[in-house]
């Protein structure tokens, strides 16, 4: 009898580990990265339900919440869901979900497969894991493998890479969409702070979109005006400039665009899509 009980316990544990509910309790892998969440994915009616934040941040969909309705948009696709209802709208056409979105621990839980496949992602279930593959960013007909960000401090600097496809696409779009008018190169611009020339610009960061071999497909540099002089001496100088290295052209940019790009990089880091390549900051 003593030998039978451990065997029964082992079989019970094995059965739990191989069940769909157990698999859904593991972090979802998106583009090879295990995405953690304060509310774990779970299975409802054989469908994996995930917090809306997982979709909005890591699949690149924008979210608009109104009353009990959630609208997700990405490129030309628009999906509207309603909590506790299987009725949904997909680009204006009515569709039925297999399971109702619902609220758990103040988080909206949505069906992963329906959302992911609607936005052109591939979903696979294998070895008790749920994996999602998103479409890569393509620049000049070449797939982008990573976005490399470099920035400098007073002493030393940091080089880091973002490998999440949705983040890279959103950041690239932010650069292209927020390009202002063409301008001439400023008289003084550098990684170093120049407090001798009014209208000097400090290089905040350099962004290289890399191909599979690590070569730069597209580079953008962001510069901010140095406020080392009285305001009256800085009249007429734009606060932020963008340099397109491929075009060898300067553009007006905005502080809001600069900050939104940094917020995307920060979100990528928080969710595990960012890797530090080198850090020489003293």
Look at residue 40 and tell me whether its pLDDT is greater than 80.
Answer: yes
**β-strand partners of 111:** 49
Q: Stretch 22-46: mean pLDDT, rounded?
A: 78
What are the pLDDT digits (tens) for 207-231? Answer: 999 999 999 999 999 999 999 888 8
As given in the structure block, the two tokens for residue 204 are 């905040």
Structure tokens at 230: 């009285």
> 69-82 burial string, b = 16+ CB within 10 Å, else e?
ebebebeeebbbbb
Query: In terms of C-beta density within 10 A (0-12 exposed, 13-18 middle, 19 or more buried), how is residue 173 classed?
Result: middle
Residue 231, classified by CB atoms within 10 Å of its CB into exposed (0-12), middle (13-18) or buried (19+), is exposed
pLDDT in tens, 56-110: 889 988 888 888 899 999 888 999 999 999 999 999 999 999 999 999 998 899 9
Q: Is 224 exposed, middle or buried (0-12, 13-18, 19+ CB in 10 A)?
A: middle
pLDDT higher than threshold 50 for residue 131: yes
Taking the model in full, what pTM does it have? 0.83
Cα angle 187, 217, 212; round to 5: 145
Place of tokens 């039925």: 96
């Amino acid at each position: 009898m003593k030998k039978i009980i451990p065997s029964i316990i082992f079989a019970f544990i094995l059965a739990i580990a191989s069940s769909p509910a157990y698999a859904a309790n593991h972090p979802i892998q998106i583009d090879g990265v295990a995405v953690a969440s304060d509310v774990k994915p779970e299975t409802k009616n054989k469908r994996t339900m995930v917090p809306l934040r997982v979709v909005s941040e890591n699949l690149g969909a924008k979210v608009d919440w109104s009353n009990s309705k959630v609208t997700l948009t990405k490129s030309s696709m628009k999906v509207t869901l309603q909590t506790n209802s299987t009725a949904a709208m997909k680009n204006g056409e009515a569709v039925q979900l297999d399971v109702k979105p619902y609220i758990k621990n103040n988080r909206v839980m949505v069906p992963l497969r329906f959302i992911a496949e609607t936005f052109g992602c591939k979903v696979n279930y294998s070895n008790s894991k749920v994996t999602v593959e998103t479409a890569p960013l393509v620049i000049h007909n070449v797939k982008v493998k990573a976005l490399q960000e470099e920035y400098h401090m007073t002493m030393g600097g940091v080089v880091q890479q973002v490998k999440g496809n949705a983040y890279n696409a959103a950041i690239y779009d932010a650069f292209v969409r927020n390009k202002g008018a063409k301008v001439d190169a400023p008289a003084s611009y550098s990684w170093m702070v120049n407090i001798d020339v009014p209208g000097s610009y400090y290089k905040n960061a350099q962004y290289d979109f890399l191909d599979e071999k690590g070569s730069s497909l597209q580079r953008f540099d962001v510069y901010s005006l140095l406020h080392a002089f009285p305001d009256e001496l800085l009249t007429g100088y734009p606060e932020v400039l963008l340099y397109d290295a491929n075009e060898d052209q300067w553009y007006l940019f905005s502080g809001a665009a600069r900050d939104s790009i940094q917020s995307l990089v920060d979100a990528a880091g928080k969710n595990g899509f960012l890797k530090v390549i080198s850090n020489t900051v003293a």
